[in-house]
Amino acid sequence: MTAESPPGVPLRSAVLSSSGLSWIAALARKHETEILVVASREVVISHPDKVLFPKPKYTKLDLVRYYLAVADGALRGAGGRPNMLVRYPDGIGREHFYQKRAPKSRPAWIEVVELRFPSGRAADEVVPRDAAALAWLANLACLELHPHPVRAEDLEHPDELRIDLDPVPGIEWTQVQEVTSVARAVLHDFNLTGWPKTSGSRGMHICVRLERRWAFDEVRRAALALAREVEQRVPNLATSKWWKEERHGVFVDYNQNAKDRTVASAYSVRPTPDARVSAPLTWDEVGECEPADFTLASMPARYDKIGDAHAAIDQHAGSIEGLLELFERQGLGDAPWPPHYRKQASEPPRVQPSKRKRATRKHPLIEIGRARRKEDALAGLTRWKRRHPQAAAYLAPADVLIDAMRGRYSIWTRIRVNLQHVPEELRPNQEPLDPDEKILSSS
């Protein structure tokens, strides 16, 4: 085993048996490719030594080996569902892109299904069914698995409600853990079973299996009711407010349940320097774990030892009728939808508070810059702070709003600053954007 090889995942040859799946690595390499035999299918790995994670030097082949080591668990989260591809062809730290349409050049055994989006467009998306499909996706440098919450056999009725707990900047992990426990209590009160996992970044996800009886809008409405209930129980720790300038603590992102939204599923490898993964947990582990405990290197050994912590998830499909009744009792109506969704009848104005007519000075926002690369946008923020050191000294971590703006194919970064904590006489005016890369929403 080399220093770059994750423990338990040999680089050149191995035999794996899991639920009837077996594979052996072909030893011969030709023209910068390696051929793996996975579930009786040949999967060609191009440029297997390409480094995707520079710090630990994990390669594309390491990523393939990882997904084969956790294949059953990864398929429990993403298998049988249409998946959007998130590709990092040159590794993390370099440009990545979103790909809804399955590549035209693909093996005949890769399944696809046509998915229609709120925009009116349609695309054939990949539906992984076995370990070979996971290896093929990893060869495309798909670090993460991004499944829709529906099965390929029924695209209009989600069978999963997703609770995305997203801390604003400056919030400690212990607060995320506390809000996770509150969300579990709400689910219990409504006879639903939650399955927690680290997001692989700073937050936590809770997956809830559902009976396939409700449409997307109803599942989102149930998620909104849950988010508001969590906020009501711990108003100082959590929020359901959609606009970033109004958030505090841990944001319960109900809009992850809108049609066409995806989240990284269980066992997904995230684009962090240490290759963290979205780790399924037992509820006993939620209060004790740290996100850094779970990486591409460490997860295979954990999986070998305890198996999939979410192995029984499909046996606990529940009903959202109670949450839909709660939504009506709350009497608050709809909440803002993400951009590019049609305006809903009961939705409040889809305008951020700082831009509404006669807006108060509670959320005085200025925009700093826009860039394709997050690093370039952050460099613009650093220059702004140097120009305005007095104002910068008053900023709390949550006052810096770093927006990952998703275009049709890629992500770009917008940075804004909320001057709410800066004395009015020290508040800088809006300046020309720095950087100011001309980016189209369809980019």
Torsion 290-291-296-301 (CA) sign = positive
Residue 202 has pLDDT above 70, yes or no: yes
The confidence band for 199, taking pLDDT boundaries of 50, 70 and 90, is very high
Q: How far is CA 77 from CA 37, 259, 359, in A?
A: 23, 18, 43
Length of the chain: 443
Residue 15 has pLDDT above 70, yes or no: no
Q: How far is CA 415 from CA 64, 146, 423, 436, 443, in A?
A: 35, 25, 21, 11, 18
Task: Give the helix ranges, DSSP H, for 153-215.
Answer: 173-189
Residue 285 has pLDDT above 70, yes or no: yes
The confidence band for 407, taking pLDDT boundaries of 50, 70 and 90, is low
48 with 61: CB under 8 angstroms?
yes
Label residue 57 left, alpha or beta by phi (over 0 means left) and psi (-120 to 50 means alpha).
Answer: left
Give pLDDT, residue 117.
Answer: 83
**DSSP per position, 256-290:** GGSTT-----TTPBPSSTT-BB--B--HHHHTT--
Mean pLDDT of 188-207: 97
User: What residues pair up with 30 in beta bridges, in sequence order?
Assistant: 33
In the block, tokens 């129980």 appear at 233
Residues of the chain with CATH 3.90.920.10: 156-350
Mean pLDDT of 200-213: 97
Give pLDDT, residue 401.
Answer: 86
Q: Helix or strand or coil: residue 405?
A: strand
Give pLDDT, residue 412.
Answer: 84
The confidence band for 18, taking pLDDT boundaries of 50, 70 and 90, is very low
Mean pLDDT of 6-26: 41
Give pLDDT, residue 80.
Answer: 98
Residue 48, exposed/middle/buried by CB under 10 A (0-12, 13-18, 19+)? buried
Q: What is the pLDDT of residues 293-306, one digit of tens each?
A: 999 999 999 999 99
Residues 6 or more apart whose Cβ sits within 8 Å of residue 330? 225, 228, 229
Give pLDDT, residue 357.
Answer: 54
Mean pLDDT of 214-229: 98
Q: How far is CA 130 from CA 114, 115, 412, in A?
A: 19, 20, 33
379 with 413: CB under 8 angstroms?
no
Give pLDDT, residue 439.
Answer: 65
Q: Helix or strand or coil: residue 5?
A: coil
Give pLDDT, residue 345.
Answer: 67
Q: What is the pLDDT of residues 149-181, one digit of tens each?
A: 999 999 999 999 999 999 999 999 999 999 999
Residue 9 has pLDDT above 60, yes or no: no
Residue 20 has pLDDT above 60, yes or no: no
The CATH H-level (homologous superfamily) assignment of domain 156-350 is DNA primase, PRIM domain (3.90.920.10)
Residue 355 has pLDDT above 70, yes or no: no
Strand ranges across the sheet with 33-38: 15-18, 21-30, 33-38, 41-46
CA 351 from centroid of its chain's CA atoms = 25
Residue 26 has pLDDT above 60, yes or no: no
Closest CA to 26 of 8, 45, 50, 9: 45
Global confidence as pTM: 0.80
Q: Helix or strand or coil: residue 157?
A: coil
